[in-house]
């Protein structure tokens, strides 16, 4: 029901009911009062406007007579469906001031063509049907039953959640830490923004995977020197790192499942990175991306679990294990950096909602998270097998990588397959993660959100197009 307020002039020569009629007509014709929308009763409107009910009754009766309003027995008074509106939306029609002319410095949004695609190969979408509604609802009920305060929570996040995450990391990733070592964030992208802001004044030289995570490139560009480090089948090529760095330095990497190529960082290179960081007093920003799901291989140890010198800033989130809509991440950072990060979070009110944190703590504490991950792993193993089967017979020069872990893979070619991509996109494929850099050409295939039969059909069509265009590829 619409809540109405009109500025009626009691000193005007125009009667109040005429003023009210004019205001109501204006709001209906402009669309502010929508067709079929319910109006307050004449008694309620009179009270809200501090006028006599006779005024509102007279106005309503006149508007009913003119066809602007209709009454429904026992339901009330409604705006007629037959009103001709102006169709003007002042918010939508005004694009912004003339001086505001963005030149592409903001992160691009996903293409609207996604909604029209039969086969959406976006990355980062876990299976919606796996979302643990029952256990998540129970976790929320437990959170609501706890003692609650409107006072702001700890800058580092709810201590119960930090304690549960610390225990979870010890069990699953062999990371030894305590609640006081952990900071709660709104996810991996937000963690990168916080780290970029915390270190910006030192203008660090930031080494970053190429190809790599676009959001990381976005946040660290312009805040110091950005240096691309290429990728091969063993992950980040550590020999490309300078032996000695003469300025503050950081290295961002995704060792568990490199984004977007999908390779795992080899043990030797993990040791190389730790040694390099220690010798250069550099920070390693370890995004433990896609670490929850691995197939026919043992998970490799995190850099953080092998970090004896304390140079690793470790972070992750629940976006793949539960849902990207949870918006809860976490990080472990050296004390000096952690203090600055907490100050930024407090100043910007950037912490996730307290109740969400309390619910997540309950969800981990009763074992629901690990049960859900185990269930998800079984589901994704089936999809992973379909990927392996369908992409097992590819032409020479076309290779698939990233199937050892995670829920996306990468299809690479000797050169950028522009003709193939155009054919696929014309045939209702959505391929938003296309890469042509660092010696790699191709596109990523996010498959976690597919049904089994849909994935099989999509890959059949994909491979048919590849063979059809071979050897042009």
CA–CA separation, 426 and 463 (whole Å): 15
Query: What's the angle, vertex CA 147, arms to CA 182 and CA 351, rounded to 5?
Result: 35
Indicate whether 214 and 322 sit together in one domain.
yes
Q: Give a yes or no: residue 431 inside a domain.
A: yes
Indicate whether 436 and 449 sit together in one domain.
yes
Indicate whether 271 and 150 sit together in one domain.
yes
- Looking at 369, 395, 423, the residue that finishes a domain is 369
Indicate whether 273 and 296 sit together in one domain.
yes
Q: Give a yes or no: residue 266 inside a domain.
A: yes
Query: What's the angle, vertex CA 372, arms to CA 213 and CA 319, rounded to 5?
Result: 20
Q: Give a yes or no: residue 77 inside a domain.
A: yes
- CATH code for the domain in which residue 2 is found: 1.10.10.10
- Looking at 323, 347, 369, the residue that finishes a domain is 369
CA 342 remoteness from chain centre? 22
Indicate whether 222 and 339 sit together in one domain.
yes
- Looking at 310, 342, 369, the residue that finishes a domain is 369
Q: Give a yes or no: residue 434 inside a domain.
A: yes
Low-confidence ranges of the chain (pLDDT < 70): 1-3, 85-94, 103-115, 148-152
Query: What's the angle, vertex CA 454, arms to CA 126 and CA 436, rounded to 5?
Result: 65
Indicate whether 393 and 259 sit together in one domain.
no
Neighbours of 82 (CB within 10 A): 9
Indicate whether 86 and 124 sit together in one domain.
no
pLDDT at 103: 64
Closest CA to 331 of 301, 351, 309: 351
Indicate whether 294 and 151 sit together in one domain.
yes
- CATH code for the domain in which residue 375 is found: 3.90.1150.10
Distances (CA, A) of 227 to 210, 222, 241, 303, 422: 9, 12, 9, 21, 32
Crossing angle, helix 16-30 and helix 53-65, to 10 degrees? 50
In terms of phi and psi (left: phi > 0; alpha: psi -120 to 50; beta: otherwise), the region of 216 is alpha
Q: Could you tell me which residues are beta bridge partners of residue 250?
A: 206, 283
CA–CA separation, 363 and 143 (whole Å): 10
Tokens of 445: 């295939």
Q: What is the dihedral sign for C-alpha 384, 390, 391, 393?
A: positive
Pairing of β 329-332 and β 312-317:
antiparallel
Are the beta carbons of 398 and 87 closer than 8 angstroms?
A: no
Indicate whether 288 and 394 sit together in one domain.
no
Q: Give a yes or no: residue 259 inside a domain.
A: yes
Indicate whether 224 and 125 sit together in one domain.
no
pLDDT at 322: 96
CA–CA separation, 261 and 399 (whole Å): 11
Q: Give a yes or no: residue 107 inside a domain.
A: no
pLDDT at 252: 98
**Containing domain of residue 213, as a range?**
132-369
83: exposed, middle or buried (C-beta count within 10 Å: 0-12, 13-18, 19+)?
Answer: middle
Residue 132: φ, ψ to 5°: -80, 70
Q: Give a yes or no: residue 304 inside a domain.
A: yes
357: exposed, middle or buried (C-beta count within 10 Å: 0-12, 13-18, 19+)?
Answer: buried
Pairing of β 182-185 and β 329-332:
antiparallel
SS (H, E, C) the chain: CCCCCCCCCCCCCCCHHHHHHHHHHHHHHHCCCCCCCECCCHHHHHHHHCCCHHHHHHHHHHHHHCCCEEEECCCEEEECCCCCCCCCCHHHHCCCCCCCCCCCCCCCCCCHHHHHCCEECCCCCCCHHHCCHHHHHHHHHHHHHCCCCCCCCCCCCCHHHHHHHHHHHHHHHCCCCCHHHEEEECCHHHHHHHHHHHHHHHCCEEEEEECCCHHHHHHHCCCCEEEEEEEECCEECHHHCCCCCCCCEEEEECCCCCCCCCCCCCHHHHHHHHHHHHHHCCEEEEECCCCCCECCCCCCCCCHHHCCCCCEEEEEECCCCCCCCCCCEEEECCHHHHHHHHHHHHHHCCCCCHHHHHHHHHHHHCCHHHHHHHHHHHHHHHHHHHHHHHCCCCCCCCEEECCCECCEEEEECCCCCHHHHHHHHHCCEECCCEEEECCEEEEEEECCCCCHHHHHHHHHHHHHHHHHHCCCC
- CATH code for the domain in which residue 189 is found: 3.40.640.10
372: exposed, middle or buried (C-beta count within 10 Å: 0-12, 13-18, 19+)?
Answer: buried
Q: Residues 200-247: pLDDT tens digits?
A: 999 999 999 999 999 999 999 877 789 999 999 999 999 999 999 999
CA 21 remoteness from chain centre? 47
Indicate whether 314 and 270 sit together in one domain.
yes
Query: Number of structural domains, the chain?
Result: 3
Tokens of 74: 């026992």
Indicate whether 249 and 193 sit together in one domain.
yes
CA–CA separation, 64 and 45 (whole Å): 16
Q: Give a yes or no: residue 106 inside a domain.
A: no
CA–CA separation, 219 and 230 (whole Å): 19
């Amino acid at each position: 029901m619409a809540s109405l307020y009109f500025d009626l002039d009691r000193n005007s020569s125009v009667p109040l009911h005429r003023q009210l009629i004019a205001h109501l007509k204006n709001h209906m014709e402009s669309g502010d009062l929508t067709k079929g929308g319910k109006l307050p009763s004449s008694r309620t409107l009179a009270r809200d406007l501090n006028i006599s009910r006779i005024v509102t009754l007279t106005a309503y009766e006149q508007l009913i007579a003119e066809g602007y309003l209709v009454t429904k027995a026992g339901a009330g008074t409604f705006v007629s469906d037959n009103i001709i509106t102006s169709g003007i939306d002042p918010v939508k029609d005004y694009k912004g001031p003339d001086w505001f002319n963005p030149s592409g410095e903001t992160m691009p949004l996903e293409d609207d063509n996604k909604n029209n695609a039969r086969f959406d190969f976006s990355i980062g979408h876990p299976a919606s049907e796996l979302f643990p509604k029952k256990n998540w609802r129970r976790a929320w009920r437990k959170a609501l039953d706890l003692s609650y305060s409107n006072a702001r929570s700890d800058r580092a996040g709810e201590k119960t959640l930090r304690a549960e995450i610390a225990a979870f990391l010890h069990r699953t990733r062999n990371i030894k830490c305590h609640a006081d070592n952990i900071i709660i964030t709104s996810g991996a992208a937000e963690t990168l923004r916080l780290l970029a802001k915390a270190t910006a004044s030192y203008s660090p030289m930031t080494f970053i995977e190429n190809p790599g995570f676009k959001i990381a490139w976005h946040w660290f560009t312009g805040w110091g020197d950005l240096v691309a480090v290429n990728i091969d089948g063993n992950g980040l090529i550590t020999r490309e790192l300078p032996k000695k760095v003469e300025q503050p330095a950081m290295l961002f990497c995704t060792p568990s499942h490199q984004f977007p190529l999908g390779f795992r960082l080899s043990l030797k290179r993990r040791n190389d990175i730790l040694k390099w960081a220690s010798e250069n007093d550099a920070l390693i920003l370890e995004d433990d991306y896609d670490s929850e799901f691995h197939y026919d291989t043992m998970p490799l140890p995190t850099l953080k679990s092998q970090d004896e010198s304390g140079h690793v800033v470790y972070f992750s989130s629940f976006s793949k294990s539960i849902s990207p809509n949870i918006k809860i991440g976490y990080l472990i950072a050296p004390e000096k950096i952690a203090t600055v990060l907490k100050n930024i979070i407090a100043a910007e009110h950037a912490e996730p909602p307290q109740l969400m944190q309390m619910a997540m703590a309950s969800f981990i504490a009763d074992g629901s998270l690990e049960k859900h991950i185990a269930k998800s792993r079984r589901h994704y193993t089936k999809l992973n097998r379909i990927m392996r089967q369908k992409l097992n017979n590819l032409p020479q020069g076309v290779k698939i990588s990233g199937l050892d872990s995670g829920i996306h893979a990468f299809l690479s070619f000797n050169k950028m397959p522009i003709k193939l991509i155009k054919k696929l996109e014309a045939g209702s494929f959505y391929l938003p993660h296309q890469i042509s850099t660092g010696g790699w050409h191709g596109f990523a295939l996010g498959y976690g959100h597919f049904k089994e039969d849909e994935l099989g059909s999509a890959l059949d069509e994909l491979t048919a197009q590849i063979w059809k265009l071979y050897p042009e590829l």
